[in-house]
Amino acid sequence: MRSIDWLQLALFVGALVVLTKPMGLYLVRVLDASGRTWLDPLLKPVERLTYRLMGIRLNLALDRR
């Protein structure tokens, strides 16, 4: 392998290392039912409108039927 290939590999691995922790923290917030992300103020109204148009009530518990 040429030196530019090693440099590209090192930059890629470095980018993975740098992005792993912030991306993991963001995914924990997104996948948590009560979690808040920085997109919530923008997307929550759209989500509620979509649910309302589809006739889905969020307050009802899911059952096995």
Q: How do the pLDDT tens digits run along the chain, 65 residues long?
A: 899 999 999 999 999 999 999 999 989 988 887 878 888 899 889 988 999 999 888 777 666 66
Listed by start position, the domains of the chain span 3-54
Q: Is 48 helix (H, G, I), strand (E, B) or coil?
A: helix
Residue 5: φ, ψ to 5°:
-65, -40
How many contiguous H segments (helices) and E segments (strands) does the chain have?
2, 0
Length of the chain: 65
What pTM was computed for the model? 0.55
The pLDDT value recorded for residue 62 is: 66
Query: HEC states along the chain?
Result: CCHHHHHHHHHHHHHHHHHHHHHHHHHHHHHCCCCCCCCHHHHHHHHHHHHHHHCCCCCCCCCCC
